[in-house]
């Protein structure tokens, strides 16, 4: 599975103005609802439920919120770059400005784990994070996703 297979340019958000973790996840849930057809509140509640188990902020200004959903036919990926970093209770204590959110079908654990691993590898590279913070368009971010595979 490639990240470009679970995303489109429409699933990339540049310059989000969220000022808290909660607002960020609400904004991403809204975007995800538009694309997946799932209920926005269902997405938000499921993602928050997972966050309450432990933050998905895994360091260096990145987070990987995720959840499993009944009614999805495939894995969906969403990327957001924030205007200003927000506290995400990340493992290193640093605020987050790069977020990759994954929504997966309820019964498809293998694809969910594969997508999590792909997104994690993508965000862990210093050079990739630097590029993501400098890129000025969704097209360039999507191209970076394609070229990184």
Active site residues: 66
Q: What are phi and psi of 92, to 5 degrees?
A: -95, 0
Long-range CB contacts (< 8 A, 24+ apart) of 33-39?
35/8, 35/10, 35/11, 35/76, 35/78, 36/69, 36/72, 36/76, 36/103, 38/69, 38/71, 38/72, 38/103
CB of 29 closer than 8 Å to CB of 23: no
């Amino acid at each position: 599975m490639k990240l470009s297979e679970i995303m489109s340019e429409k699933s990339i958000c540049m310059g989000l103005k969220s000022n808290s973790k909660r607002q960020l996840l609400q904004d991403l849930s809204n975007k995800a609802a538009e694309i997946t057809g799932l209920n926005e509140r269902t997405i938000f509640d499921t993602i928050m439920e997972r966050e309450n188990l432990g933050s998905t902020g895994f360091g260096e200004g990145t987070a990987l919120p995720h959840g499993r959903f009944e009614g999805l036919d495939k894995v969906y990926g969403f990327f957001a770059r924030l205007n200003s970093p927000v506290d995400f209770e990340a493992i290193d204590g640093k605020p987050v400005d790069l977020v990759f959110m994954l929504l997966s079908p309820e019964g498809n654990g293998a694809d969910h784990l594969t997508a999590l691993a792909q997104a994690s590898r993508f965000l862990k590279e210093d050079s990739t994070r630097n590029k993501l913070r400098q890129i000025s368009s969704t097209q360039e971010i999507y191209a970076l996703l394609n070229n990184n595979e």
